[in-house]
């Protein structure tokens, strides 16, 4: 790797092992994210994708290996410290503060990010214009897709370094998937760094700068040039 490439690496995960009790979930996993990249993690259910994101986010402690953010090891630090480092994590469960309004949810994110509420409202409504008419609706009354978009919008405020999103399109209607694809495309065009777990190969192949394929807790393939159809030809068979 050239010096300039090494300096541009934002996150480097090296030899990461993670276990649930006696059961090992990740085996010597290594990935990297460079400044401005959108990296995708793909694999079948149980491959370890969510465990990887949770460990980077500080929700699980590594048994071995390192998680280097700009060269500093953050592996095993509490999740609130990870968030303070500017890493925003959107979990797979689409959980919002359901009894609070959309506006209240955004205000909490604005406070966490140290931003003015109006600035956050402007960003959220530019990301998803329908929020203009739903600011006073309880977030629990939103559809699954709208909750996911709300979570992504909140993460965009908080992520000064990069954001991680786990299965953003899972179980959603095609019309909402188009909205999420548009938001992710805009995020990519703004060169916001991101690590995304996703099963929709159409989205992955259009947006990815690099793809890591996982199976049984290991990275089994790295696709460094997703625009090369020869590299992605067998991707579907691996999922």
DSSP SS3 for 144: helix
Q: Return the pLDDT at 158.
A: 85
* Residue that has been written with the tokens 């049984």 in this structure: 216
Detail the DSSP E strand segments found in 70-136.
Answer: 72-73, 87-90
pLDDT in tens, 2-61: 444 545 899 999 999 999 988 999 999 999 999 999 999 999 999 999 999 999 999 999
Backbone dihedral region of 136: left (phi > 0), alpha (psi from -120 to 50 degrees) or beta?
A: alpha
Both tokens of 117, joined, read 């509420």
pLDDT band at 236 (very low <50, low <70, confident <90, very high): confident
Percent of the chain topping pLDDT 70: 97
CA-angle at 61, arms to 56 and 63, nearest 5°: 110
CATH topology of domain 3-224: Rossmann fold (3.40.50)
How far apart, in whole angstroms, are the C-alpha atoms of residue 183 and residue 201? 17
Residue 225 CB partners (closer than 8 Å, separation 6+) = 231
Phi/psi at 125 (5° precision): -75, -25
CA-angle at 60, arms to 54 and 63, nearest 5°: 120
**Model-level pTM?**
0.92
How far apart, in whole angstroms, are the C-alpha atoms of residue 184 and residue 127? 10
| Residue 61, beta-bridge partner list | none
For 141, which DSSP code?
G
**How would you label 19-50 residue by residue, b for 16+ Cβ within 10 Å and e otherwise?**
beeeeebbbebebbbbeebbbbbbbeeebbbb
**Are 38 and 187 a contacting pair, CB within 8 Å?**
yes
How far apart, in whole angstroms, are the C-alpha atoms of residue 117 and residue 125? 12
Instruction: Give me the mean pLDDT over the 120-124 stretch.
Output: 91
């Amino acid at each position: 790797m050239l010096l300039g490439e090494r300096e541009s690496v934002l996150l480097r995960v090296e030899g990461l092992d993670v276990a649930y009790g006696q059961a090992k979930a990740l085996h010597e996993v290594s990935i990297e994210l460079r400044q401005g990249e959108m990296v995708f993690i793909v694999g079948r259910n149980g491959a370890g994708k969510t465990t990887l994101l949770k460990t980077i986010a500080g929700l699980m402690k590594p048994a071995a290996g390192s998680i280097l953010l700009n060269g500093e090891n953050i592996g095993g630090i509490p999740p609130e410290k990870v968030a303070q480092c500017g890493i925003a994590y959107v979990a797979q469960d689409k959980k919002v503060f359901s009894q609070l309004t959309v506006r209240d949810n955004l205000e909490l994110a604005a406070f966490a990010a140290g931003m003015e509420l109006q600035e956050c409202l402007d960003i959220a409504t530019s990301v998803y214009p329908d929020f203009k008419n739903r600011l006073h609706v309880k977030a629990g009354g939103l559809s699954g897709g709208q909750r996911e978009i709300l979570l992504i919008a909140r993460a965009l405020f908080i992520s000064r370094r990069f954001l991680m999103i786990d299965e953003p399109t899972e179980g959603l209607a095609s019309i909402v998937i188009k909205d999420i694809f548009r938001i992710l495309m805009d995020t990519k065009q703004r060169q916001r760094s991101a690590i995304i777990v996703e099963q929709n190969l159409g989205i992955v192949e259009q947006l990815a700068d690099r793809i890591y394929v996982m199976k049984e807790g290991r990275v089994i393939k790295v696709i460094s040039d997703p625009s090369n159809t020869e590299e992605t030809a067998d991707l579907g068979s691996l999922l």
